[in-house]
């Protein structure tokens, strides 16, 4: 039993060295309620158990939970640092020894997508693995530019699917329940629901009819 206790630190050190040697980018994307943040939690938890030094970050605009927590829809929690820009991660990495970082809701950061790619490349050149989660599209099915830029450079790309709230098929997009047309509106089940392509198109047609009816009533 004693030899096991003595060899575990050595194995952990070997695992950390191997990860340092093979830094990579792992992207989890898809609609809301598809398990992206849960997968981020699992990736970092697995690395932490193996002895890697990990840290998580979240965008400052995400006001759904505590400032220092990332919380998935199934209530898994990660300690996190709230930041305004991805550039802050570079500064953090220069002053702290880390093997892997997790970034939740990457689409909410205001940095130019090309700059985020540059930051990620620099982090990986410094042997830091990056795990990100983010929406692939907004509620109008327009791709989020940063996720679109990260997809081709990812070592691992996982597309997650929620269950359509209307028919039970695989969901395709996050449908916004309100009529707010701002691209970014922070919310959860009270504001959005996952829908498949058919149900989304049907609901959007119904919404346009309702909007037109409201306009006629106002004349």
For 7-45, the pLDDT digits (tens) are: 555 555 555 555 556 899 999 999 999 999 999 999 999
Distance CA 79, CA 69 (A): 5
Please state the rounded mean pLDDT for residues 97-117: 96
Stretch among 6-10, 129-133, 205-209 having the lowest mean pLDDT: 6-10
The string over 33-68, giving b where at least 16 C-beta atoms fall within 10 Å of a residue's C-beta and e elsewhere, is bbbbbbbbbebbeebeebbbebbbbbbeeeeeeeee
Q: What local confidence, expressed as pLDDT, does residue 21 receive?
A: 62
Residue pair 134/55 in contact by the 8 Å Cβ criterion: no
Residue 191 in any domain: the answer is no
Residue 14 in any domain: the answer is no
Distance CA 129, CA 125 (A): 10
Q: Of 208, 202, 206, 136, which Cα lies nearest the Cα of 172?
A: 136
CATH code, domain carrying 77: 3.40.50.300
Residue 94 in any domain: the answer is yes
Q: What local confidence, expressed as pLDDT, does residue 216 receive?
A: 45
Residue 73 in any domain: the answer is yes
Residue with tokens 């990260």: 150
Q: Domain containing 152: what range?
A: 21-160
pTM of the shown model: 0.82
Distance CA 137, CA 141 (A): 5
Residue 214 in any domain: the answer is no
Active-site amino acid positions: 105
Q: Into how many domains does the chain fold?
A: 1
144: DSSP letter: P
Residue 59 in any domain: the answer is yes
Residue pair 147/29 in contact by the 8 Å Cβ criterion: yes
Residue 5 in any domain: the answer is no
Strands, E assignment, 73-191? 77-79, 81-83, 100-103, 129-135, 156-160, 173-176
Stretch among 14-23, 129-138, 174-183 having the lowest mean pLDDT: 14-23
Distance CA 80, CA 6 (A): 32
Residue 13 in any domain: the answer is no
How does pLDDT run across 64-94, given as a tens digit for each residue? Answer: 666 677 877 777 788 899 999 999 999 999 9
């Amino acid at each position: 039993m004693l030899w096991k206790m003595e060899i575990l630190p050595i194995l952990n050190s070997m695992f950390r060295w191997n990860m340092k040697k093979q830094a990579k980018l792992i992207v989890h994307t898809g609609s809301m309620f598809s398990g992206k943040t849960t997968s981020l939690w699992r990736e970092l938890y697995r690395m932490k158990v193996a002895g890697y030094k990990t840290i998580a970050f979240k965008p400052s605009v995400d006001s759904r939970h505590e400032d220092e927590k990332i919380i998935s829809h199934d209530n898994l929690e990660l300690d996190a640092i709230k930041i305004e820009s991805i550039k802050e991660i570079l500064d953090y990495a220069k002053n702290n020894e880390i093997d892997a970082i997790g970034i939740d809701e990457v689409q909410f950061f205001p940095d130019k997508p090309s700059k985020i790619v540059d930051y990620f490349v620099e982090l990986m050149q410094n042997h830091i693995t990056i795990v990100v989660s983010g929406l692939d599209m907004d509620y109008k099915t327009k791709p989020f530019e940063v996720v679109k830029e990260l997809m081709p450079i990812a070592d691992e790309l996982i597309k997650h699917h929620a269950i359509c709230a209307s028919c039970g098929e695989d969901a395709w997009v996050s449908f916004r329940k309100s009529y707010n047309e701002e691209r970014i509106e922070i919310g959860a089940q009270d504001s959005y629901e996952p829908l498949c392509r058919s149900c989304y198109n049907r609901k959007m047609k119904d919404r346009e009819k309702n909007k037109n009816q409201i306009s006629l009533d106002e004349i």
